[in-house]
Amino acid sequence: MALEVTLQAAGPIPLDLAFRVEPGQLLALVGHSGAGKTTVLRTVAGLWRPENGRVAVAGSIWLDSASGVNLPPHRRRVGVVFQDFALFPHLTAAQNVASAMLHMPKAERRAEAERMLGLANLHGLADRLPAQLSGGQQQRVALARALARCPDVLLLDEPFSAVDRATRERLHAEIIGLRAHLAMPVILVTHDVNEAQLLADRLVVIEKGRMVAEGVTGRVMSDPVALRALGLREAGATIAARIVAHEADGLTRLETSAGPLLLPRLDGVPGTWVRVRIMAHEVILARQAPQGLSALNILPGTVIEVKPGDGPGAFVQLRLGRDTILARVTRRSAQALGLAPGVDCFAILKSMAVACDQVGAGTDPADPDP
């Protein structure tokens, strides 16, 4: 049931890519606007045809330039969530969802549509028109509609860029919760690296129509080539943490595999797992545990690799407990501190450096079947 995609085109944007997504995996296509990410998505959906391409899902061929196969979108079992929702404005929420259920007998569609809306936290809104729903609600209807098709592939085209930040965080959480029930390959197109890092298993970084990096999220985010395309300030890593308690002075205490973490007040019941994105340029390194610092988070770790850049900077990859993080320091400091693979050091992180949208819902890393 895996999805395989290759495509080449000369225009309007020159494109040359190939990748594969396994069932249940979420692959994020990241890159700047105009890099070609949406074009790739549209190729998989059948809304665009490259000069040369091949799209195969679970053994059935949707597109093959070599043999002239090109199924139109309505003959591909694909679910698409569009950037601006693209709900049918004249139909209610339930009717929107039901219109993707053409494979079901008509009598059953309404009940099933209501059930899906319920799963998407839209109880009681089945008979509302899109104009009567908020942005977040509309996006959930769009998602329900895409899933109502029982698609072989789920495509999300910048689905959260049209909603406000608070709604976006909630939707992120729901996607993560939904992941467990999604058996098909999922492709997410986004220009928001933060979002990609929080949600995706694998990343493909696209620059000017070419793949500059591809692989597991963590590894891509520490790849300098990828980071140069995304912007070096995007360098960061995520670690899993569990909420322990909310303290009286507005901080939340979390527990990571390397030690305690104090962050500004988070939403969440103690016991909940989260993923925290730690930006590389916010991490200070020290050979000894420092004293008298204002920073509250000092975690012990071991250097895995030091990657000098072209300029004065260097990326240091660090193991913290079971997680890996990145730190961006000057080459001068790396040399002065004698940072090399295997060396023990401490990572220092300001609590206030972590923004609330850098914390997303997570799963217990020890639980094999979340």
Partner 1 sequence: MDWTALGLSLQLAGWTVIALLPVAVFGGRFLAYRSFGAKGLIETLVMLPLVLPPTVLGYYLLVAFGRNSPLGAFWQEMFGQPLAFSFPGLVLASIIFNLPFAIQPAQRGFEAVPIAVREAAQCCGMSPLRSLWQVELPLAWPGLMTAMVLAFAHTLGEFGIVLMVGGSIPGRTRTIAIAIYDRVQAFDNSAAATMSAVLVAISLVTIAATYWLSARVGRRLG
Which residues of this protein are in contact with partner 1, per CB under 8 A? 45-47, 72-74, 77-80, 82-84, 86-90, 99-100, 102-103, 145-146, 149
Rounded to whole angstroms, how far apart are CA atoms 323 and 236?
12
C-beta of residue 314 within 8 angstroms of C-beta of residue 280? no
Report, in Å, the least distance between residue 138 CB and partner 1: 12
Shortest distance in whole angstroms from residue 175 CB to partner 1:
19
What is the SS3 assignment for 275?
strand
- Residue 7 C-beta: closest distance to partner 1, Å: 18
Name the residue nearer to partner 1 (CB basis): 159 or 313.
Answer: 159
CB 70 within 8 A of CB 51: no
Q: How far is the CB of 105 from partner 1 (least distance, A)?
A: 15
Q: Which is nearer to partner 1, 102 or 180 (CB)?
A: 102
Q: Specify the residue, 102 or 336, whose C-beta has the smaller distance to partner 1.
A: 102
| Closest approach of partner 1 to the CB of residue 74, in Å | 5
DSSP 340: -
CA distance 88 to 186: 23
The least distance separating partner 1 from the CB of residue 285, rounded to whole angstroms, comes to 48
Q: How many residues appear in the chain?
A: 370
| Nearer residue to partner 1 within complex by CB, 156 or 176 | 156
The dihedral through the CA atoms of 51, 57, 59, 62 has a sign that is negative
Q: Which is nearer to partner 1, 40 or 320 (CB)?
A: 40
- Owner of token pair 């070609």: 36
CB atoms within 10 A of CB 164: 11
In this structure, what DSSP letter does residue 46 have? T
Q: Which is nearer to partner 1, 19 or 82 (CB)?
A: 82
Beta carbon of residue 99, minimum distance to partner 1 (angstroms, whole number) = 5
Q: How far is CA 24 from CA 71, 187, 188, 278, 356, in A?
A: 24, 10, 13, 26, 27
Give 77 or 210: the residue with its C-beta nearer to partner 1: 77
The CB-of-2 to partner 1 minimum distance in angstroms stands at 20
Q: Among candidates 302, 282, 263, 292, which has minimal Cα distance to 348?
A: 282
Among 271, 254, 262, 266, smallest CA distance to 359 is for: 266
Q: Which of 80, 70, 72 is nearest to 149 (CA)?
A: 80
Q: Which is nearer to partner 1, 88 or 115 (CB)?
A: 88
Q: Which is nearer to partner 1, 145 or 253 (CB)?
A: 145
**Do you find a cis peptide bond into 50, omega within 30 degrees of 0?**
no
CB of 306 to partner 1, least distance (A): 47
- CA dist., res. 351 & res. 361, Å (int): 19
Tell me which residue has tokens 């309007």: 12
Between CA 327 and CA 319 the distance in angstroms is 11
- Nearest alpha carbon to residue 262 among 250, 279, 275: 250
